[in-house]
Chain A
Amino acid sequence: MEATQAPRTVGRLAQWAAASADGPARDGGYFDAYAAVGLLAVVGVLFVTVAFTANRLMRPVVPTPEKLLAYECGVDPVGEGWAQTHIRYYVYAFLYVIFAVDAIYLFPWATVFAAPGYGAGTLVEMFVFIGFLAVGLLYAWKKGVLAWT
């Protein structure tokens, strides 16, 4: 199974490479550029694998119970490693999710807002949008969410 698939994959890669010979992002399909990115990711994974394998061959392995104990602060650990902690800033996480999802909308808008046919009206619309964000931030600030509790 794998033996028959490998050449096909290579063939497809070659096809893509041929298609993207001149202007990778323009002449080929939109996603062709990402094939090179994928190839780089594969190269990266290979690099890490080779590094770890070489490391395995070169290093000594002499485990002792003391060595395998968690280091923590240098003193023998007390209690469980996954201790309960009060995560004080979880409210920031909510804020972040709301704001980041909104911020994503800015990017497609940013590429067209100054184009002919858009202009001032589009800008005002975005100001309304950013205004909502700002009011939300002010509200959170006023509520004391941004202060350390």
Chain B
Amino acid sequence: MTLLDALLRCVAVLAVFLVFPLVIGQTEHKVMAHMQGRLGPMYAGGFHGWAQLVADGVKFAQKEDVVPAEADRRVFQLAPAVALLPYLVVLIAIPVGPHGLVGQAVDAGLFFVLAVMGVGVLGSLMAGWASANKFSLLGGIRTAAQLMSYELPMLLAAASVAMAAGTLSLSGIVDAFHWWWVPWQVVGGFVFFTAGLAELQRPPFDMPVADSEIIFGAYTEYTGLRFALFLLSEYAGILVLCALTTVLFLGGWHGPFSDGLGWLWTLLKTFALAFVVIWLRVTYPRLREDQLMRFAWTVLIPLSLAQLALTGVVKVVIS
């Protein structure tokens, strides 16, 4: 029975993993379109093109899968899976509601989540290297550089929350949350969210896939289902980042009527953040590579160190 329970949880996580990124993707289509004064997809499915991404999926599944003759075949074919699966595994540890509404509570959840998320970048690196394409290689290296620069502020901002809560368990962190954490941790939240955007290579940090210079970076040579999996991993990444920011900095399930409707608060906050991610894409131009690096090392890291100091002092004073 309990093995069945565990399997059910896994299947539920998989379902969330396959549906929510599509919702975010469709929202992106529509929100971007309306921000740019156009309609976006209107045909597929009838009502405002709601089935556009389903149609895309059907198309991708039937497209020929081309592996360039020069490419490192095995690595090239495995890369999308390596990019995608870490986000699936992370999802199981993110608490949605109170009273154990979580795929699987992991004691060192915060640490586990950050560690596993870092693996996804390997997929981009593998793709960039295995494509035997100069631009893909450049894109892969840019991805790696970006991860190295932005992982650190992300870690430090997350450590600040762990200090505030005195635990690494994600559920424990939300349990310990009070409303005044929001102003207290606001700098950390900004750093965490920004660094997360950069790790996902979302605009304005999309130098690794800058189409005007390096075509589509590490994913240039991909077609069909493998390309679709890379896209899916990007949107799953948005979901994971927004859910994590919600849990760590915005109080997760806390809100009015949160005893019965806690999960609803988590979802609302997550999707509001996903909207911000889309909004930023429409609003800001792409940062140049050197600006990207400078922003991480000279703005985000000092900010996160300052946040650590503030968290430590306040915590010792009040305890």
A-B contact count (CB 8 A): 223
**8 Å CB interface, B52-106 against A:** 61-71, 81, 84-85, 88-89, 92-93, 103-106
A34 an interface residue at 8 Å Cβ cutoff?
A: yes
Q: Is the CB of A110 within 8 A of B105?
A: no
Q: Is the CB of B225 within 8 A of A69?
A: no
Secondary structure type dominating chain A contacts: helix
**Chain A residues near B151 (CB, 8 Å)?**
96, 100
**8 Å CB interface, B1-38 against A:** 1-3, 5-7, 9-11, 13-14
What's the Cα separation between A42 and B90 when bound, in Å? Answer: 14
Given contacts A44-B88, A106-B159, contact A70 B6 (CB under 8 A): no
CB-based nearest A residue for B155: A103
CB-based nearest A residue for B68: A70
Q: Is the CB of B152 within 8 A of A59?
A: no
Q: Is the CB of A114 within 8 A of B148?
A: no
What's the Cα separation between A44 and B16 when bound, in Å? Answer: 13
Chain A proximity of B281: nearest CB distance (Å): 24
Q: Is the CB of A115 within 8 A of B308?
A: no
**Chain B residues near A148 (CB, 8 Å)?**
289-290, 293-294
Given contacts A48-B85, A54-B61, contact A72 B69 (CB under 8 A): no
Q: Is the CB of B107 within 8 A of A30?
A: yes
CB-based nearest A residue for B317: A120
Q: Is the CB of B168 within 8 A of A25?
A: no
Chain A proximity of B71: nearest CB distance (Å): 8
User: What is the interface size of chain A, counting residues whose CB is below 8 A from a CB of the partner?
Assistant: 78
What's the Cα separation between A67 and B162 when bound, in Å? Answer: 51
Task: From B133-141, B185-193, B250-258, B259-267, give the one contacting chain A.
Answer: B133-141
B240 an interface residue at 8 Å Cβ cutoff?
A: no
Q: Is the CB of B14 within 8 A of A100?
A: no
B246 an interface residue at 8 Å Cβ cutoff?
A: no
What's the Cα separation between A77 and B10 when bound, in Å? Answer: 44
CB-based nearest A residue for B80: A48
What's the Cα separation between A72 and B65 when bound, in Å? Answer: 17
Q: Is the CB of A85 within 8 A of B141?
A: yes
Contact with B along A117-139 (1 / 0, CB 8 A): 00110010011001001100100
Contact with A along B129-173 (1 / 0, CB 8 A): 101111101100100010011011001100100110011110000
Q: Is the CB of A59 within 8 A of B63?
A: yes
Q: What class of interface size applies to chain B in its complex with A?
A: 35 or more
**Chain A residues near B85 (CB, 8 Å)?**
41, 44-45, 48
Q: Is the CB of A123 within 8 A of B313?
A: yes
Chain B proximity of A27: nearest CB distance (Å): 11
**8 Å CB interface, A30-48 against B:** 30, 33-37, 39-41, 43-45, 47-48
**Chain A residues near B167 (CB, 8 Å)?**
111
Residue among B6, B89, B135, B149 making CB contact with A72, cutoff 8 Å: B135
CB-based nearest B residue for A61: B64
Given contacts A43-B10, A70-B131, A81-B70, contact A14 B3 (CB under 8 A): yes
Residue among A82, A96, A123 making CB contact with B152, cutoff 8 Å: A96
B285 an interface residue at 8 Å Cβ cutoff?
A: no
Chain A proximity of B192: nearest CB distance (Å): 13
**Chain A residues near B229 (CB, 8 Å)?**
48, 51
Q: Identify the A interface with B (CB < 8 A).
A: 13-14, 17-18, 20-21, 24-25, 30, 33-37, 39-41, 43-45, 47-48, 51-52, 54-56, 58-63, 65, 67-73, 77, 80-83, 85, 87, 89, 92-93, 95-96, 99-100, 103-104, 106-107, 110-115, 119-120, 123, 126-127, 130, 133-134, 137, 141, 146-148
Q: Identify the B interface with A (CB < 8 A).
A: 1-3, 5-7, 9-11, 13-14, 61-71, 81, 84-85, 88-89, 92-93, 103-107, 110-112, 129, 131-135, 137-138, 141, 145, 148-149, 151-152, 155-156, 159, 162-163, 166-169, 215, 220-221, 224-225, 229, 289-290, 293-294, 297-298, 301-302, 305, 308-309, 312-313, 315-316, 319
- Starting from the known contacts A67-B66, A137-B297, 4 additional A-B residue pairs (CB-CB under 8 Å) come to A37-B104, A81-B137, A83-B134, A85-B137
What 6 A-B pairs have minimum CB-CB distances, sorted nearest first? A81-B132, A17-B2, A148-B290, A96-B148, A68-B69, A36-B104
